[in-house]
C-alpha cells in the first residue's frame, strides 16, 4: 500500500483541478529513454513525444532540435537514425518548444562491424518477409520442397535446411546474388509466393552479405534475445490522420540493445483505430483504442493507443471519485474524452447489489426497509451487511466450483466425493479463508477424496499436462494449451514452458481405497514429464519463472508457494480481475482467463492496484469487493452521459446484463415462493447450490449454465436465444411456479388479498421497487376487466416474470 | 469438439483453445454498440439485386475434418498407404467416389463435387471459422456464421426461424459474431431420431388459449414499455426480437408442425435411415419445405487420427443413405432447385495414412459437396494431385465457397454489413462465386 498514496495524490490533484483548467504537467519524453550504440551496424532511431496538458500525445520528433554531446560520438542519417562514430559516453540534448531533455548516450565498438548472424540477423529477415509463416514454408510439410520451422522456432533446423538441403543450391558464396535464397524472394526466378524481398534493399543486403561471408552458422557464445519493447508504450492521438512513429527495441543477453524496427513484424489490433505500416509509422483513424503489436524472435509486445476525434473537448461533469477505483477509471475516461454516467438510484443500487453479492433479489421487506432508510451511508452499510450473509458463500462456492470444474465423473469422481469437495469450497468461503491459502490447500492436497476433499482437485483431470493447464488458466488467467503441440506464434509460451510446468504434477499418485467410490491422492515422489518432441525429461520450472530447488519436497507444494507469492505477477491480479468481472460484467482483461500480449487490460493501472490491494488485504475477497461496490463506478447508472457513446470497456456506465441462469431460476422461485427440486439436494435448495456440473435441469441448460467440461469462462452463456424466450412464454417453469397450490399468488388469492396489495408486492419482489401509479393502474384495470380474476392475476405474474426489467440486472 | 493437431505424435487438449482468438468481439476501444442493432436493421433493407436460384440452404457440417481421400476424392491408383482399403464406387457420371457411398454414386448427376477446396488453417477451431463464416479468424472481430448472415438478410419466413441448427449449435463459429444475438440459430435441442422427439415449448401452456395469450402479450408490452424506453443494449433488442419471433412461431400451426418429424410416414423415415444423421436430414427437409432459410446439420466424429478404415465403415453408410435420400426426395418434391445442399468439413486429412492407420489434419486440399439450388449437377470441380495432397486445378477457398452460397441465395457477397463501431464489413471478402458450379 505504499505506492497508492503517491499515485492517488497526483490523480486527485488532477481531477479536482480539471473542471476549471487542466493542470496535467506538460511533458516531453524521448524513446528509447537512453541510447546505447554497440557496433558499427547498430543505428538507432529516436522518437520524441510531447504529452499535452489534456493527455493528447504529439510526435514532435521532426520539429525537435537534437544536439549530440560530444558531437564526435555519433552522426545522423535518414529517418533520424543515430550512427556510432567514436566510442565514449555523452548525451543528446533534445529541445522542443522551450523544453529541454537529456538522453544519455553510450557508444562502444564504433569501429567493429561484426559479421551477419544467422539467428540474430537472417532469421529475422526470413520472419519479417513472411517466408516462415504457416501459409508458406513454415507449414508442417514446407512448401514446394522447402521447409522452414514455423516463425523460426528452431534456427538450427532452418540453418540446415537452407545451407545443406537440396544439394546446397540455395547458397552460392562466390556469387551471392545467384543464390536461390536471394533469387526466389526477389522474383529473380519463379516463386509461387511472389516477391517478398526488395532487390538491393536493406533486407536483401543483409542476406547478401551473410552469404558472401560464407553463410556461416553462429558461434556457440552468440548473445541471445531476452526481450523486446515497442515505444512509445502508450499514447493518445487526436484527429484522424495524426501520426506517431514507433521504435522497436530488442535486448540481448550480453547487455546490448538494438533498434529492430525494420526487422520486426508490426501489426495493429484494429487498423480502423490506429494503423501501422512496415516502417513503424502509426496513423490514427476512427475513435477507439487499440494496440500496436511488434513481434521479433519469440517475443511479442504491444503499445496501447487511443484515437479521439479532433475538437473533442473534455466535458467533465461534477463527479468526484469515491475511492481509488474511481480515480483510475476517471483518469482513463479523461483520456478517452468520455464522461462517467451519473450514480444510479437507490432502487437500482439495491437490486444490483443483492444480485451481484448474494445472487438473490431483496425480499419485499428488505426492499421496503432499504428504500425508506434516509441515512447518508446506507449503501456502504448495506454492502457490509450483504458480505456477511450466507448466500454470498453460495455464489462464490459456485464460481470456484465452476472454475475448478466440480462435477461427478462415472467411476472417477463419485457424487459423494463431489459433494464433499463442494462443501469444502463453501466452508472455505464462509470461513473467509484467504484465497492464497485455499489455492495452497488445493494444489498440495493429499489423502482420501472423502476425508480430504481438496484432493478431488486432482480427480477432475487425469494427466499432468491437463492439471498444469487448469492451474495456469484458473489461477493465472493464462492459457498454455496451444504450447502442448507448438510454440505459440504470438505469445510467449513455448513447448518447453508447457512441459516443464507440467512436470510439477508428474508425481501425483492416485490409488483406490477400501470404499470403491473413494480414491486416495498421494505424492509418489517419482515420475517425470517428457517433452513430446525431444523426449527429454523436463525439470519443473515455474511458468515464466525460475527452476526451483525441489530437494526432498513435494513438487506441488513448491509450486503452490510460488503461485501465490509476489514473484508470480499473475495470481493476485487474476483473482482480482475475476472478482471485478463478477460485479462489473466485464473484466479489465476480458475474458478474465485469456491473459496475453494481444489482449491487454483496458486499465492497467487499476488492475495493478487491485492486485496489490488484494495482497495487502491478505487475499480477502470481501475487502476487495467492498472497494469495488463502494465506488461510483460500480454504482453508475446504465444511462450513458452522452447517448451517442456507449462504452463497454472503460466502465463509464453500468452494463445491462441478463441474470445468470441459476440466479434467474432462483429469482423466479423466490418471487413466486415456490421450490424447485434438484437431484440429491433437499427441496428448497437453490440452483446456485447445485454442486454437480453434470446436474441441473432444462431451464439451467438453455439459459447457459456451464457443464464444467473445461475450465474456460466461455462455457457460461448469456446470449438470449429463441429457446429461452419460448420457455419463458410457454414453459412449465413459470407456469408451475405461478399456479402452484402453495405459490405466493395462490396464497394471496386464498387470503382474498386486494389486487393493489398483490401488485405492489409483486413489483417489490421482482423489481425491488413499488409500482409507479400508472403501472399500478394498468394492472388494476387489467384484473378488473378480465373475466376470471385468478387467471388475470396469474397473467400479471407472467408478464412481470417475462419482462426485461426482471430478467436483466441493470 | 475433439481437438487434435496436425503435429505428429501429439494429441492436443480439449476445447478451449478456440479462446485464442474468440470473444475479443469489441476489441476496439469504446466498443460502440449503441444503436448498432438499429443501424444494422436499417442497412438490412433488401438484400440483393438479381435473382435467387435458391430459397433455402441445408448446410451439413461434418465436424472434425472429414477425409477427402475416403469420401469424395479417392485415389484408387495411389499406393495402398495413401489410398486406404475402402475401394471406390462408380458414379452415374463416369467418375468415382468412396466405395462406401454407392447410393450417392448413383445420384452423382444431381450433385457437384469440389475437389480443390483449400485453406491454411490446420487447427479445428480456425478451420471451422473459415468454413462456417467464410472468413479467416481475426484477432479484432468475430465474424458471423453464414446462417446468421442469411437470418439477418432474409429474416423469418412463414413464422419459422430463419436459421435453425439440428440437433444444436455444435460449434462456436455457428454463432452471430459481430451481428446481434437476434440472428442466432434456433436449436431444435434434441435428436429427431429419438422416440418421442419434440421441440419444447412450441405449444401454449395448458389453460392458456390464444385469446388469453393475446391479452398476456398486450400486458407484457405495457409492462416493458417504460424500461425499454430507458434502457438500451443489444441483448435487450435481441430479446425483443426473439419475443416477436416466438409469438409468430407459437401462433402458426403450420410452422410448429414443421418440427414434427414423427408426422412422416414410417417408409419415409426408413428411406433416410433411422440413424441420427438420416433423421436430422429428414427434419431439415421438413423445415425447408415449410420455409426455413438456413438449416445447419452438424455431424460430429470425423477427426480420424486412428484407424480411419473401420471408422469410415461404421460412419459412412448412414451418410450415404441419408444424403442420397435427401437429394432424391427434394428432387421428387420439386424442391431441389430451390434448396441448396452443402456438405463440408473444416478441412481434409493427410493423404498418407499415419502409423495408427489414421489420417491427420490437412487443410491444403479437401472436398465439398453441393447439390440443388441452381448448382450444375454432375460437376466435378477442381482436382488434386495423384496423392490428394495439393489442388492442381481450380483451387476453391472457403471465401469462394461462401460467395457461391450467398450468390445462389441472391445475396450479393460484396454487400456490406455494419459491425460495432460503425465499420462496414463485406459479407464475403476476397471470394468469388465459382461460375463453373452454377447451372
User: Is residue A635 included in any domain, yes or no?
Assistant: no
Same domain, A133 and A109: no
Measured CA angle at A693 (ends A687, A697), to 5 deg: 50
Tell me whether strands A288-296 and A299-308 are parallel, antiparallel or unpaired. antiparallel
Same domain, A556 and A692: no
Q: Return the bridge partners of B361, or none.
A: B349
The reply to whether B200 touches chain A by the CB within 8 Å rule is: yes
Same domain, A676 and A724: yes
Task: Tell me what percent of the residues of chain A surpass a pLDDT of 70.
Answer: 96
Residues 6+ apart with CB under 8 A from B367: B68, B71, B72, B73, B113, B114, B115, B117, B348
The reply to whether B235 touches chain A by the CB within 8 Å rule is: yes
**Is residue A14 predicted with pLDDT exceeding 90?**
no
Same domain, A169 and A294: no
User: Is residue B1 included in any domain, yes or no?
Assistant: no
Q: Which three cell numbers stand for residue A276?
A: 501501422
331-360 of B, contacting A, C-beta below 8 A: none
User: Is residue B222 included in any domain, yes or no?
Assistant: no
Q: What is the pLDDT of residue B51?
A: 66
Of A466, A479, A643, the CB nearest to B19: A479
Residues 6+ apart with CB under 8 A from A721: A702, B181, B184, B186, B187, B242
pLDDT confidence bin for A192, thresholds 50/70/90: confident
Task: Tell if the CB–CB gap between A336 and B30 is shorter than 8 Å.
Answer: yes
User: Is residue B239 included in any domain, yes or no?
Assistant: no
Tens of pLDDT, residue by residue over B127-151, are 999 999 999 987 678 899 999 999 9
**What angle separates helix A744-751 from helix A789-801, to the nearest 10 degrees?**
150
Task: Tell if the CB–CB gap between B26 and A643 is shorter than 8 Å.
Answer: no
User: Is residue A402 included in any domain, yes or no?
Assistant: no
**Is residue B80 predicted with pLDDT exceeding 60?**
yes
Q: What is the pLDDT of residue A151?
A: 84
Task: Tell if the CB–CB gap between A532 and B421 is shorter than 8 Å.
Answer: no
**Is residue A773 predicted with pLDDT exceeding 70?**
yes
Query: Is the Cβ–Cβ distance between A236 and A55 less than 8 Å?
Result: yes
Same domain, A746 and A782: yes
Residues 6+ apart with CB under 8 A from A570: A475, A476, A477, A478, A595
> How confident is the model over A717-743, as a mean pLDDT?
94
CATH code for position B48: 3.40.720.10
The reply to whether A59 touches chain B by the CB within 8 Å rule is: no
> How confident is the model over B47-53, as a mean pLDDT?
59
How many domains would you assign to chain A?
A: 6
Alpha carbon separation from A440 to A367, A470, B11, B289 (Å, rounded)? 40, 15, 30, 60
345-364 of A, contacting B, C-beta below 8 A: none
Tens of pLDDT, residue by residue over B205-227, are 999 999 999 999 999 999 999 99
User: Is residue A620 included in any domain, yes or no?
Assistant: no
Task: Tell me what percent of the residues of chain B surpass a pLDDT of 90.
Answer: 78
Rg of chain B over Cα atoms, rounded to whole angstroms, equals 22
User: Which residue from B minimizes the CA distance to A532?
Assistant: B10
User: Is residue A615 included in any domain, yes or no?
Assistant: no
The reply to whether A729 touches chain B by the CB within 8 Å rule is: yes
Q: How far is residue A95's CA from residue A109's CA, in Å, rounded to a whole number?
A: 28
Mean pLDDT over the full length of chain B: 88
DSSP B112-162: EEEEEE--S--SHHHHHHHHHHSS---SS-PPPPHHHHHHHHH--BTTB-S
User: Is residue A270 included in any domain, yes or no?
Assistant: yes
User: Is residue A140 included in any domain, yes or no?
Assistant: yes
Same domain, A98 and A122: no
User: Is residue A224 included in any domain, yes or no?
Assistant: no
A574 vs B422, which has greater pLDDT?
A574
Of A466, A649, A729, the CB nearest to B13: A466
Q: What is the pLDDT of residue A129?
A: 92
pLDDT confidence bin for B14, thresholds 50/70/90: very low
User: Is residue B419 included in any domain, yes or no?
Assistant: yes
User: Is residue A6 included in any domain, yes or no?
Assistant: no
Same domain, A709 and A793: yes
Q: What is the pLDDT of residue B1?
A: 32
107-136 of B, contacting A, C-beta below 8 A: 120, 122
**Is residue A130 predicted with pLDDT exceeding 60?**
yes
**Which residues form the domain of A160?**
118-212
Same domain, A206 and A240: no
pLDDT confidence bin for B31, thresholds 50/70/90: very low
Query: Is the Cβ–Cβ distance between B382 and B394 less than 8 Å?
Result: yes
pTM: 0.84
Q: Which three cell numbers stand for residue A69?
A: 554531446
**Which ipTM score applies to this complex?**
0.86
User: Is residue B84 included in any domain, yes or no?
Assistant: yes
Alpha carbon separation from A13 to A230, A231, A319, A616, B110 (Å, rounded)? 30, 28, 14, 25, 76
Of A594, A647, A658, the CB nearest to B30: A647
Tens of pLDDT, residue by residue over A503-516, are 999 999 999 999 99
373-432 of B, contacting A, C-beta below 8 A: 421-423
> How confident is the model over B274-291, as a mean pLDDT?
97
Same domain, A302 and A362: no
Q: How far is residue A393's CA from residue A634's CA, in Å, rounded to a whole number?
A: 21
Shortest Cα distance from A593 to chain B (angstroms)?
9
Of A272, A655, A795, the CB nearest to B215: A795
Cα atoms found within 13 Å of the Cα of residue A439, Cβ hemisphere only: 23
How many domains would you assign to chain B?
A: 1
Task: Tell if the CB–CB gap between A802 and B184 is shorter than 8 Å.
Answer: no
Q: What is the pLDDT of residue A23?
A: 38
**Is residue B12 predicted with pLDDT exceeding 80?**
no
Same domain, A166 and A37: no
Nearest residue to A499 (alpha-carbon basis) of A469, A456, A457, A454: A469
Tens of pLDDT, residue by residue over B336-364, are 999 999 999 999 999 999 999 999 999 99
Q: What is the pLDDT of residue A318?
A: 87
Task: List strands edge to edge, sheet with B294-299.
Answer: B186-187, B163-166, B294-299, B56-62, B339-345, B366-371, B111-117, B379-381
Give me the total of CB pairs closer than 8 Å, taking one residue from chain A and one from chain B: 242
A737 vs A311, which has greater pLDDT?
A737
Task: Tell if the CB–CB gap between B19 and A805 is shorter than 8 Å.
Answer: no
- Domain finish residue from A512, A540, A563: A563
Tens of pLDDT, residue by residue over A201-257, are 999 999 999 999 999 999 989 999 999 999 999 999 999 999 999 999 999 999 999
Same domain, A183 and A167: yes
**Which residues form the domain of B403?**
25-200+264-437
pLDDT confidence bin for A679, thresholds 50/70/90: confident
Question: Which of A288, A716, A728, A787 is most worth mutating to test chain B (most B CB atoms within 10 A of its CB)?
Answer: A288
pLDDT confidence bin for A168, thresholds 50/70/90: low
Task: Tell if the CB–CB gap between A481 and B13 is shorter than 8 Å.
Answer: yes
Task: List strands edge to edge, sheet with A65-69.
Answer: A35-37, A99-107, A88-96, A65-69
A401 vs B138, which has greater pLDDT?
A401
User: Is residue B170 included in any domain, yes or no?
Assistant: yes
Amino acid at each position: 500500500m505504499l505506492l497508492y498514496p503517491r499515485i492517488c495524490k497526483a490523480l486527485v490533484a488532477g481531477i479536482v483541478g480539471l473542471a476549471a483548467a487542466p493542470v496535467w504537467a506538460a511533458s516531453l519524453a524521448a524513446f528509447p529513454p537512453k541510447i546505447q550504440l554497440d557496433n558499427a551496424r547498430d543505428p538507432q532511431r529516436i522518437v520524441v513525444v510531447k504529452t499535452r496538458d489534456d493527455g493528447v500525445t504529439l510526435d514532435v520528433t521532426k520539429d525537435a532540435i537534437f544536439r549530440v554531446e560530444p558531437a564526435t560520438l555519433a552522426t545522423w542519417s535518414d529517418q533520424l537514425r543515430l550512427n556510432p562514430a567514436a566510442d565514449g559516453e555523452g548525451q543528446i540534448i533534445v529541445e522542443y518548444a522551450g523544453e529541454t531533455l537529456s538522453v544519455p548516450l553510450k557508444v562502444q565498438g564504433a569501429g567493429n562491424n561484426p559479421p551477419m548472424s544467422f539467428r540474430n540477423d537472417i532469421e529475422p529477415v526470413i520472419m519479417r518477409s513472411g517466408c516462415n509463416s504457416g501459409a508458406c514454408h513454415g507449414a508442417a510439410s514446407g512448401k514446394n520442397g522447402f521447409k522452414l520451422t514455423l516463425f523460426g522456432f528452431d534456427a538450427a533446423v532452418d540453418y540446415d535446411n537452407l545451407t545443406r538441403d537440396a544439394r546446397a543450391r540455395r547458397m552460392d558464396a562466390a556469387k551471392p546474388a545467384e543464390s536461390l535464397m536471394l533469387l526466389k524472394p526477389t522474383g529473380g526466378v519463379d516463386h509461387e509466393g511472389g516477391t517478398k524481398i526488395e532487390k538491393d534493399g536493406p533486407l536483401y543486403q543483409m542476406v547478401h552479405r551473410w552469404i558472401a561471408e560464407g553463410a556461416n552458422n553462429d558461434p556457440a557464445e552468440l548473445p541471445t534475445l531476452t526481450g523486446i519493447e515497442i515505444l512509445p508504450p502508450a499514447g493518445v492521438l487526436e484527429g484522424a490522420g495524426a501520426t506517431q512513429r514507433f521504435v522497436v527495441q530488442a535486448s540481448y543477453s550480453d547487455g546490448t540493445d538494438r533498434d529492430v524496427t525494420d526487422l520486426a513484424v508490426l501489426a495493429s489490433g484494429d487498423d480502423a483505430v490506429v494503423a501501422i505500416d512496415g516502417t513503424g509509422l502509426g496513423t490514427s483513424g476512427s475513435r477507439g483504442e487499440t494496440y500496436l503489436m511488434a513481434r521479433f524472435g519469440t517475443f511479442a509486445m504491444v503499445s496501447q493507443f487511443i484515437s479521439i476525434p479532433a475538437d473533442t473537448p473534455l466535458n467533465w461533469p461534477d463527479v468526484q471519485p469515491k475511492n481509488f477505483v474511481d480515480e483510475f477509471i476517471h483518469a482513463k475516461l479523461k483520456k478517452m474524452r468520455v464522461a462517467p454516467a451519473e450514480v444510479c438510484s437507490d432502487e437500482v443500487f439495491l437490486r444490483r447489489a443483492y444480485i451481484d453479492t448474494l445472487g438473490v433479489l431483496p425480499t419485499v421487506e428488505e426492499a421496503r426497509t432499504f428504500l425508506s432508510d434516509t441515512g447518508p451511508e446506507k449503501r456502504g452499510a448495506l454492502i457490509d451487511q450483504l458480505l456477511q450473509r450466507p448466500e454470498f458463500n453460495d455464489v462464490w462456492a459456485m464460481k470456484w466450483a465452476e472454475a475448478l470444474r466440480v462435477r461427478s465423473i462415472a467411476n472417477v469422481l463419485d457424487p459423494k466425493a463431489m459433494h464433499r469437495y463442494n462443501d469444502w469450497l463453501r466452508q472455505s468461503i464462509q470461513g473467509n479463508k484467504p484465497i492464497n491459502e485455499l489455492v495452497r490447500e488445493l494444489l498440495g492436497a493429499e489423502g482420501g477424496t472423502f476425508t480430504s476433499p481438496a484432493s478431488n482437485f486432482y480427480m477432475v483431470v487425469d494427466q499432468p499436462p491437463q492439471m498444469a493447464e487448469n492451474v495456469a488458466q484458473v489461477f493465472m488467467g493464462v492459457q498454455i494449451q496451444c504450447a502442448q503441440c507448438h510454440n505459440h506464434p504470438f505469445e510467449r509460451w513455448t513447448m518447453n514452458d508447457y512441459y516443464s510446468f507440467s512436470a510439477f504434477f508428474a508425481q501425483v499418485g492416485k490409488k483406490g481405497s477400501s470404499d470403491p467410490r473413494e480414491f486416495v491422492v498421494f505424492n509418489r515422489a517419482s515420475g517425470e514429464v517428457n517433452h513430446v518432441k525431444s523426449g527429454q525429461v523436463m525439470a519443473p520450472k515455474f511458468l515464466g519463472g525460475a527452476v526451483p530447488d525441489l530437494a526432498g519436497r513435494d513438487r506441488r507444494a513448491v509450486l503452490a508457494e510460488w503461485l501465490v507469492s509476489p514473484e508470480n505477477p499473475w495470481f493476485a491480479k487474476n483473482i482480482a480481475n475475476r472478482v471485478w468481472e463478477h460485479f462489473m460484467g466485464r473484466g479489465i482483461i476480458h475474458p478474465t482467463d485469456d491473459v496475453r500480449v494481444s489482449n491487454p487490460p483496458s486499465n492497467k493501472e487499476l488492475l495493478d492496484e487491485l492486485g496489490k490491494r488484494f495482497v495487502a488485504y491478505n487475499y480477502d475477497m470481501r475487502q476487495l469487493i467492498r472497494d469495488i461496490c463502494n465506488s461510483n463506478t460500480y454504482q453508475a447508472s446504465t444511462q450513458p452521459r452522452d447517448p451517442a457513446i456507449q462504452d463497454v470497456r472503460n466502465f463509464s456506465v453500468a452494463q445491462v446484463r441478463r441474470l445468470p441462469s441459476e440466479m434467474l431460476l432462483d429469482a423466479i422461485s423466490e418471487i413466486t415462493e415456490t421450490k424447485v427440486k434438484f437431484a440429491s439436494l433437499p427441496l428448497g435448495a437453490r440452483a446456485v447450490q447445485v454442486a454437480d456440473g453434470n446436474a441441473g435441469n432444462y431451464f439451467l441448460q438453455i439459459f447457459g449454465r456451464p457443464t464444467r467440461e473445461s475450465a474456460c469462462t466461455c462455457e457460461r452463456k448469456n446470449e438470449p436465444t429463441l429457446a429461452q424466450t419460448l420457455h419463458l412464454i410457454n414453459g412449465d417453469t413459470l407456469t408451475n411456479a405461478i399456479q402452484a397450490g402453495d405459490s405466493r399468488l395462490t396464497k394471496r388469492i386464498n387470503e382474498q388479498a386486494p389486487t393493489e396489495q398483490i401488485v405492489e408486492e409483486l413489483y417489490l419482489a421482482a423489481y425491488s421497487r413499488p409500482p409507479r401509479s400508472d403501472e399500478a393502474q394498468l394492472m388494476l384495470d387489467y384484473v378488473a376487466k378480465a373475466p376470471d380474476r385468478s387467471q388475470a392475476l396469474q397473467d400479471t405474474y407472467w408478464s412481470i416474470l417475462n419482462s426485461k426489467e426482471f430478467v436483466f440486472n441493470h | 469438439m475433439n481437438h487434435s493437431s496436425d503435429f505428429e505424435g501429439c494429441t492436443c487438449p480439449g476445447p478451449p483453445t478456440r479462446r485464442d482468438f474468440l470473444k475479443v468481439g469489441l476489441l476496439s476501444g469504446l466498443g460502440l454498440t449503441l444503436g448498432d442493432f438499429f443501424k444494422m436493421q436499417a442497412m438490412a433493407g433488401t438484400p440483393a439485386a438479381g435473382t435467387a436460384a435458391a430459397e433455402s440452404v441445408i448446410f451439413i457440417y461434418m465436424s472434425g475434418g472429414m477425409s477427402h481421400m475416403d469420401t469424395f476424392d479417392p485415389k484408387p491408383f495411389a499406393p495402398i498407404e495413401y489410398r486406404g482399403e475402402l475401394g471406390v464406387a462408380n458414379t452415374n457420371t463416369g467418375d468415382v467416389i468412396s466405395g462406401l457411398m454407392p447410393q450417392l454414386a448413383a445420384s452423382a448427376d444431381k450433385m457437384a463435387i469440389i475437389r480443390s477446396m483449400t485453406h491454411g488453417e490446420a487447427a479445428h477451431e480456425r478451420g471451422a471459422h473459415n468454413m462456417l463464416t467464410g472468413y479467416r479468424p481475426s484477432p479484432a472481430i468475430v465474424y458471423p456464421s453464414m446462417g446468421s448472415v442469411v437470418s439477418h438478410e432474409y429474416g423469418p419466413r412463414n413464422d419459422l426461424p430463419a436459421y435453425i441448427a439440428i440437433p444444436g449449435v455444435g460449434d462456436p463459429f455457428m454463432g452471430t459474431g459481430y451481428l446481434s444475438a437476434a440472428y442466432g440459430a434456433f436449436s431444435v435441442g434434441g435428436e429427431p431420431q429419438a422416440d418421442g422427439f419434440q421441440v419444447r415449448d412450441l405449444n401454449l401452456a395448458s389453460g392458456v388459449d390464444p385469446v388469453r395469450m393475446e391479452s398476456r402479450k398486450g400486458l407484457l408490452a405495457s409492462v416493458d414499455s417504460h424500461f425499454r424506453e430507458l434502457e438500451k443494449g443489444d441483448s435487450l433488442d435481441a430479446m425483443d426480437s426473439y419475443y416477436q419471433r416466438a409469438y409468430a412461431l407459437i401462433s402458426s400451426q403450420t410452422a410448429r408442425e414443421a418440427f414434427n418429424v414423427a408426422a412422416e410416414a414410417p417408409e419415409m423415415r426408413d428411406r433416410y435411415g433411422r440413424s441420427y444423421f438420416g433423421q436430422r436430414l429428414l427434419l431439415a427437409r421438413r423445415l425447408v419445405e415449410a420455409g426455413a432459410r438456413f438449416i445447419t446439420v452438424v455431424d460430429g466424429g470425423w477427426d480420424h487420427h486412428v484407424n480411419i478404415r473401420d471408422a469410415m465403415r461404421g460412419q459412412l453408410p448412414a451418410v450415404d443413405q441419408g444424403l442420397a435420400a435427401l437429394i432424391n426426395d427434394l428432387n421428387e418434391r420439386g424442391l431441389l432447385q430451390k434448396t441448396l445442399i452443402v456438405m463440408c468439413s473444416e478441412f481434409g486429412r493427410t493423404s498418407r495414412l499415419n502409423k495408427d492407420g489414421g489420417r491427420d489434419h490437412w487443410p491444403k486440399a479437401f472436398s465439398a459437396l453441393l447439390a440443388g439450388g441452381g448448382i450444375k449437377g454432375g460437376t466435378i470441380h477442381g482436382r488434386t494431385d495423384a496423392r490428394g495432397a495439393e489442388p492442381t486445378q481450380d483451387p476453391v477457398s472457403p471465401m469462394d465457397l461462401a460467395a457461391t452460397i450467398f450468390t445462389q441465395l441472391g445475396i450479393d457477397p460484396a454487400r456490406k454489413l455494419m459491425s460495432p463501431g460503425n465499420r462496414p464489413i463485406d459479407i464475403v471478402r476476397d471470394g468469388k462465386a465459382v461460375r463453373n458450379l452454377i447451372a
